[in-house]
Chains A and B, each alone.
Chain A
């Protein structure tokens, strides 16, 4: 017994190092799996408050840019509004997100990272504004990510620039579907996998959300095809997509809450049983 105590006292630095290092390693590994830790995230009062303070100073510097984005969005919405009779179904669905199944909340981005391999955004809406996990987040141009952790006033968003992100997407012209991933290289490009080789692909074609999950409605823009190549198996394409959004410059986002999500979930659960 004496010897054990002596050993512990003699090696206390190393043992403490080992303990702290394994704690941080555990947190790291946990952050690489889908269900991440509930407390190591920036959706809390302290970090949100500090980011908010500095954001309120910094946001004046790109007011001009944000104005331009707003004007562009207004232009597009007005074009849809004035031409609404001549539109076909798919476009009007995009403008209205179906039959008002989605509640839209606007939020300001307090923190945005795009140079890591797992990127998250912090936004200034939380449980108080009835934001919950797995809500979709978009801008006027295209998708941004999915709400991950929430606190009372803040939420973190799993960006599409994240190795864990898997979003259902399809070609705009046809219904060929695949899953959207990111290889961690450039913040301007994402990859769409598992598109059948029967799909008619053309450089510059639009890719949009597929609407198979309850997170995003069908038809929200993602980007355009930059290049594509066959997989090793030869049955599917991997497509390089240039994003509509400039992920390095995001000021205001919209959070989409699917109002029929409970019903869809309940139905899916009862089908699985």
Chain B
């Protein structure tokens, strides 16, 4: 138990730092940035309490917000993602989730990619709608969501696969 807490604390700090120091300043093609800190929310232990996940996600989002002067948009998107995570898990892992036996370390890569795609798109739509905050710029919101999602999904899957142990 203690080991898990330490792992997740280190992951929290590492992802936060990488996000605010590197990923927020990539600006690929002028405006495309990956938001890799959601890996923390994705890989949070499934059997842990949901209340704790909500709290920690809020804290993570708020810290990213403080670093990037963006009000509360990351906090709102992270909390929403944390709240609907069970639904995403159920739709991407199916029976495996019902039996409470999902292990991110050695799960099927197809399921994992579905999970990351669903979570990223939902997170990014909320993020960019709140950031732009103007319904007449819906095209801009969708454009940013699409391109940033692609970038985030590729990076997230790579990071999860590279950093997971005992994958064949």
Contact = CB atoms under 8 A, between A and B. Distances in A.
A184 B137 contact: yes
A26 B58 CA distance: 14
A236 interface: no
A115 B27 contact: yes
Contacts of A13: 50-51, 54, 83
A26 B72 contact: yes
Contacts of A156: 69
Interface string A102-123: 0000000001011111101010
B70 A47 contact: no
A28 B27 contact: no
Contact of A25 (B24, B30, B72, B83): B72
A40 B70 CA distance: 8
Interface residue range, chain B:
35 or more
A50 B17 contact: yes
A156 B20 CA distance: 16
Interface string B13-48: 000010011001101001111000000000000000
Interface string B55-82: 1001001100111111111011001101
Contacts of B20: 47, 50
Contacts of B65: 24, 27, 40
Given A31-B69, A41-B69, 11 more contacts: A16-B51, A16-B55, A21-B76, A23-B72, A40-B69, A42-B67, A50-B67, A111-B68, A115-B30, A116-B68, A117-B132
Contacts, number: 115
Contact of B68 (A17, A23, A37, A113): A113
Interface string A9-27: 0001110110011011111
Interface string A42-68: 101001001100100000000000000
A230 interface: no
B79 A54 contact: no
A227 interface: no
B51 A41 contact: no
A120 B70 CA distance: 9
Nearest to A46: B66
A20 B54 contact: yes
**Interface majority SS (helix, strand, loop, mixed), chain B:** helix
B71 A21 contact: no
10 contacts: A17-B82, A31-B71, A41-B69, A42-B67, A113-B69, A115-B27, A116-B68, A116-B131, A118-B70, A156-B69
Interface of B: 17, 20-21, 24-25, 27, 30-33, 50-51, 54-55, 58, 61-62, 65-73, 75-76, 79-80, 82-83, 130-133, 137, 140
A64 to B, nearest CB: 19
A248 interface: yes
Given A17-B79, A50-B20, A113-B24, A187 B30 contact: yes
A115 B75 contact: no
A14 B79 CA distance: 11
B51 A40 contact: no
Contacts of A118: 69-71, 131
